[in-house]
Amino acid sequence: MIKIERDFEAYLDEISLITILLPYDYYEGKSAAFFIKKDQERVQLELLGSEPIEEYVKYSCRLDQSIDIGSEYWIEDEHGNETDLQIGAVIRTEEFDELFYTECKLGFTYAKEKTSFALWAPTAGKVKLRLINDDGSDSQEELMKRGNKGVWELTIDGDLEGRKYTYLVCVNLRWQESVDPYAVALTPNGEHGVIVDLKKTAMTKRELPALSSPVDAIIYETHIRDFTIHHDSGVSQKGLYNGAGEINTKSSDGGLTGLSYAADLGVTHIQFLPFHDFAGVDEVKSNKEYNWGYNPLHFNVPDGSYSTDPGDPYARIKELKELISTVHSLGLRVITDVVYNHVYERESSSFEKIVPGYFFRHDAFGMPSNGTGVGNDIASERKMARKFIIDSVLFWQKEYHVDGFRFDLMGILDVETMNLIREKTVENDSSVLLLGEGWELNTPIPAEKKASMRNQSKMPGIAHFNDRFRDRIKGSTFHLYDKGFALGNAGYYEDAAEVIGGSIGMLDEKGLFLSPEQSINYVEAHDNHTLWDKITACFPDEDEHELMLRHRLSTVMTILAQGVPFLHSGQEFFRTKQGVGNSYRSSNEINQMDWSRKEKFADHVDYIKGILSIRKKHGAFRFREAERIRKHFRILEERKPVLGFALQEVKEFGSWNQILVFINPFHDVCLADLPEGRWSVIANDQYAGINVLEAVSENIKLKPISTYVLIQEEI
């Protein structure tokens, strides 16, 4: 970092307010007057006041003339010395946003005859485009021209395809080199942007089965490397985009693996952990390191660690597009996990180098806020930060045909941004799925503006991970030995009854959500302990069979609850990470999907497959509106502490008119009385599916730690 020596500092902190800091060792920090200078013009500032702060005297001065931000100004004190006027907190004001917001297309626009570049850098005094030869030597540096709204532009004639490029940006007399934040192709490890012709990678989106509501989705979360890296995955290109896109792969036992297995299981969406460019894995030596991908570097480029050739900027683009197309060919949709709440390192990010201080939130003391816990929070409420996020989402949707987005730490983002994302993405695809972590996080925007669960009523059509469901069914994620209802804790009965009904306030009128479409129901995800590891820790003396039954019960409740079911890949065959709770950079051996467990626990996989088929068979498990749940869904409180519920008069939603579900998480056998008539059992303690197992009437014996589903045709 180049340090610029200044006798004193001056900052533009508001459009008409300049803050001047005089050190005590500089004329004892005293000056009776200050002047602003540009070219030959010199104007005295109105001195509003002064106060001591640490090693300085702080002076506040009013500016009566308009400032041309991006031009060079100097501040002179009474001693005749001067310093440059630096861009300060003014960039975080609403006035700045109004002055410089633009809908201009940013990034490069390639044609064989010429390429045009556009970079938003309103506080820069100068900007250069740097083109780099293939051998790494500089080819040329070209000054860009400042246009409207702080957008710097340049068009270069000739065919630039394949050329590497960066921007050189001068702000506050300091030059910094940066990769284009709108880059769509990169060299290994994101060192340079690359000019490519995306038309060469274009693919036609395949037709997909209709999806008329989020509750018709069944989400299956996986990590591109985890999905295939196991030695018995049957995949040839393990751990790569190409490997994840292989179909009809089989393990040594002859059973399906990978994508074909997921499609056969019955899910509708594959949710991949972040595949945008991230830090933590050397793309050239990717087999030596592991990372989940929540260290974002460049938001519009696939990460090179999953590519067969990270050095070829086209390879990762084509391979990811082919993977997504293959997922679509199986009738499945793709959700990508996106991390617009922070960057890996604020200081070295393209955002901070190009427009210092704008894209990140700061606290009342001017320090970067840290609601994310990783050192920075992206200021999504600022207009050009919001534009970037929306542009990026639309880029993935249109260019890569992504069908949904999972927003990491969505509570950092703001309500208006999320609603605009919803509005814009639905214009392109009415079936788009938007979901995120609506946690309440300590970031400095008003509580009513955070895209958190408390504000879900302001964000219709956007779903949230339901931590109440997670923690009431399996027990607290953050207290390993806490046991939820599915683990035999009757104290969670009322909570379990509420969340299995969609968390809409059906029982106590204090629901989390206005609509079941907003509830992502889950008991396991990539982070924290797997369900199997938690259960084995909670019941160290139980035999494996009982552990499996408890695990099965938790998963079944996730699938049969009102809302959107979410499964972690391998959950259906008791995925384990050997007790590691936070495996974001653990080894392949910890994180991999162990495909040998699929065959070992084949009966359990078949059971979960059967439960999924039941959910998909009848719309009563997938009500879209809270009103329908209140009309047709009834908790059978007379069966307490066994959790039972009835779906009544539901013929209009499927082939069955009445449905009963009993969930017994206890060691005791229970006898449950049945409503009048004969009932057909389609799920019991051993089998599940849409075929009838037996007919019963009057009552049914519920075996320990089991689920029963009964149906009745219209009388």
Helix 415-428 vs helix 383-399: crossing angle, to nearest 10: 30
Place of tokens 């009322």: 494
> 131: which 2 tokens?
């083109």
DSSP 350: H
Least Cα distance to 61 among 79, 78, 74, 49 occurs for 49
Q: Is 673 helix (H, G, I), strand (E, B) or coil?
A: strand
Instruction: Please state, in angstroms and as integers, the Cα–Cα distance from residue 435 to each residue in 93, 340, 372, 452, following that order.
Output: 30, 13, 18, 11
What lies within 8 Å, CB to CB, of 525 at 6+ separation is 221, 465, 566, 568
Nearest to 92 by CA among 410, 378, 461: 378
Cα–Cα dist 581/420, whole Å? 35
Measure the CA–CA gap between 606 and 596, rounded to whole angstroms: 15
Which DSSP state fits 180? Answer: -
Tokens 């999953």, residue located: 306
Cβ pair 374, 296 in contact under 8 A: no
The encoded tokens of residue 379 equal 């200021």
Six-digit token pair at 162?
A: 């394949």
Which residues are known catalytic residues? 408, 437
Looking at residue 279, the DSSP 8-state letter turns out to be S
Cβ pair 66, 43 in contact under 8 A = no
Task: Kindly state the DSSP code that residue 269 receives in the 8-state scheme.
Answer: E
DSSP element (H, E) containing 278: strand 276-278
